[in-house]
Structure 1
Amino acid sequence: MKEFDTHRIFNIAHTEDFNALALDVFRFQYKNNKVYKQFCELLKKSPQKVSHHLEIPFLPISFFKTHRVTSTQKEAYTLFTSSGTTQSITSKHFVPDIALYEESFQRAFKQFYGKPEDFCVLALLPSYLERKGSSLIYMVNSLIQKSEHPDSGFYLHNLEELHQKLQELEQNKTKTLLIGVSFALLDLSEQFPIALKNTIVMETGGMKGRRKELIREELHHILKQGLGVDSIHSEYGMTELLSQGYSKGDGIFTTPPWMKIITRDTEDPLTVQPNRKTGGINVIDLANIYSCSFIATQDLGKTHPNGSFEVLGRFDDSDIRGCNLMVL
């Protein structure tokens, strides 16, 4: 199998570059990904019938739970798995080239926030630390190591210790990034309120069954009050992706050049929604070259003309129409 020139992924300069590369990736994955090819064939979509990235079929994300979605014959890989209950089936993302993931999140972080070396990076991610195979833990651990700050590190349930560390960093006016899962940040803000002036607070979403689900506005309002910040940043990523979108407040996310969000009609998954209209979130992640770059998620959202997007919630199973068009 001929390997793909991955250097092209991170050198996109214009919209035309993205479209051309997306079509090349589609051709590569159609040829080398058996699961994706069968899905495309069922839709009667082939590279010969697709001339724009909006016409490329999006594989339902649930296939990562039931199939090995790969576009390579390489046997060595890093396995990322999603969180889930003991009864649920978890997603599995086989990543044969971990350097692609590292380059993707490092470039994106630098684009949106600058160099990790400029931060003390604190991670409050108990639900992720308590299991193996988290792509988020892999990313944050790398950022912690690259920050090279002696106080950078992970926190599990030791909220009082984290509170004391934040106080020390604030007194020293240290530029800090606190990245945490929603329920743990809520616990911190309620049990140990603080006024953070030099700290970016970034939530990664998810109550993980630990607390009642909240809409974004309510969650961010509580966190802003308890942690004394003007805005709450957010990260949009998932096990099945190798790229992330970031929001610096108000729930408006932007993506790096090799990632694009498109929304689909909730009743007709093959129809693209216009900007500002709610639909199912489809993700093009060109860094996913060795799995599938075109994924239909179970998130609801809307896009904006400048390429930014919002996440508004998730589909109920009963709301998904025509997404799983086949059983392989």
Structure 2
Amino acid sequence: MISASDIFTIASKKESEKITLKVFRHQFDNNAVYKDFCGFLGKDKQNVKSIKEIPFLPIQFFKTHEVVSSQDPVQITFTSSGTTGMATSRHLVTELNYYEQSFRLAFSQFYGNIEDYAVLALLPSYLEREGSSLIYMVEDLIQGSNNPHSGFYLHNYDELIAKLTALDTEGQNVLLIGVTYALLDLIEKEDFKLKNTIIMETGGMKGRRREMIREELHEVLCKGFGVSKIHSEYGMTELLSQAYSLGDGIFECPPWMDILIRDTEDALTYVDYGKTGGINVIDLANINSCSFIATQDLGKKYPNQSFEVLGRFVKWDVRGCNFIVI
């Protein structure tokens, strides 16, 4: 049996590979949707002997199936945002403690003690619906900061501007985490000159503004907030782990998470470092759901194991996946 301790104390590549294959075998045995998917690809526990032989479940299965690898009761269901009439992803979480350990430990790894920050959250489109895993995480960080100034902001921009300016001027370390379009709205109302604040964008125009390439977006945000770098978080409803970028759109993963870049023409092969392809995510914290997910994001990975997110597939056209119906 694989424990949380096994996952969150990974200390080497060899150890990571060993646990990853154990998680694959566990999910093959306990996740009917994933087992059937593996079967369509001719994969099973006997012929998967390395990480690159593990099948990655297309992320849209979370819109049509219950992707669970546990008999335990569901503690919480996270759902994705979507326009009216659009199918949304449903992530059935049977071990909420795994999610909490994952984001707490990852934040500590990249940013240190949460109690060193005042956490201000500008996430209106997420607050306005139920089931957001991002809201759950940020609410926990706000509580963990033990700072009376930490909190959520919806459309009360003037109040946020006053709070952010005052805290930064006082020398308080601040983490402002916001959905992209709302951060752009904020800097249209105020020209900041921040010295003690980290700006972390979570992505998402949500149809409110035109899409922008990362370089253009970060240049605008850097100028508007008066900072040299824009941080980013890479996570999604279907995962229990996040990667972080401390600037320039270069992301790094915690030890229990990894990224592989698949060929856009053949979902079962991988491209070399520095080449663009589809992003496959290994998320070992997601042991009770599916830890091997083929996303609809495009990216590239580098030899130091960092990666970039470059965009999304216009449509799900990965050969070898689109004919599979379970």
TM-score by length of structure 2 reads 0.98
Match of 1:31 among 6, 22, 29: 29
Q: Contact (CA 8 Å) 1:260, 1:285: kept in 2 or not?
A: yes
Match of 2:164 among 155, 163, 166: 166
Equivalent residue for 1:275? 273
Aligned pairs (5 A) from 1:87-126:
87-126=85-124
1:73: Cα distance to partner?
Answer: 1.2
In the alignment, structure 1 residue 137 sits paired with structure 2 residue 135: yes
1:190: Cα distance to partner?
Answer: 1.4
Q: Partner amino acid for 1:301?
A: G
CA deviations on 1:264-323 (whole Å, 9 max, x unpaired) are 000000001111000000000000000000000000000001110000000011644333
Gaps of 5+ in 1: none
CA deviations on 1:95-146 (whole Å, 9 max, x unpaired) are 0110000000000000000011000000000000000000000000000000
Aligned pairs (5 A) from 1:186-265:
186-265=184-263
How far apart, CA to CA, are the structure 2 residues paired with 1:34 and 1:184? 40
SS at match of 2:308: strand
CA deviations on 1:133-168 (whole Å, 9 max, x unpaired) are 000000000000000111000000111110000111
SS at match of 1:200: strand
SS at match of 2:172: coil
Q: Contact (CA 8 Å) 1:60, 1:324: kept in 2 or not?
A: no
Equivalent residue for 1:154? 152
- In terms of mean alpha carbon deviation, does 229-238 or 45-54 score higher? 45-54
How far apart, CA to CA, are the structure 2 residues paired with 1:4 and 1:88? 36
- In terms of mean alpha carbon deviation, does 266-275 or 315-324 score higher? 315-324
Q: Partner amino acid for 1:106?
A: R
Q: Contact (CA 8 Å) 2:195, 2:227: kept in 1 or not?
A: yes
How far apart, CA to CA, are the structure 2 residues paired with 1:170 and 1:68? 45
* CA RMSD, 1 decimal: 0.9
1:192: Cα distance to partner?
Answer: 1.5
1:77: Cα distance to partner?
Answer: 1.9
How far apart, CA to CA, are the structure 1 residues paired with 2:25 and 2:19? 10
Q: Contact (CA 8 Å) 1:94, 1:291: kept in 2 or not?
A: yes
How far apart, CA to CA, are the structure 2 residues paired with 1:319 and 1:67? 20
Number of residue-to-residue matches in the alignment: 326
Q: Partner amino acid for 2:301?
A: T
How far apart, CA to CA, are the structure 2 residues paired with 1:171 and 1:214? 31
Gaps of 5+ in 2: none
In the alignment, structure 1 residue 20 sits paired with structure 2 residue 31: no
Change in CA separation of 1:318 and 1:13 when aligned onto 2, cut-off 3 Å: closer
Q: Contact (CA 8 Å) 1:29, 1:292: kept in 2 or not?
A: yes
SS at match of 1:137: helix
Aligned pairs (5 A) from 1:287-298:
287-298=285-296
SS at match of 2:194: coil
Q: Contact (CA 8 Å) 2:74, 2:92: kept in 1 or not?
A: no
Q: Partner amino acid for 2:122?
A: L
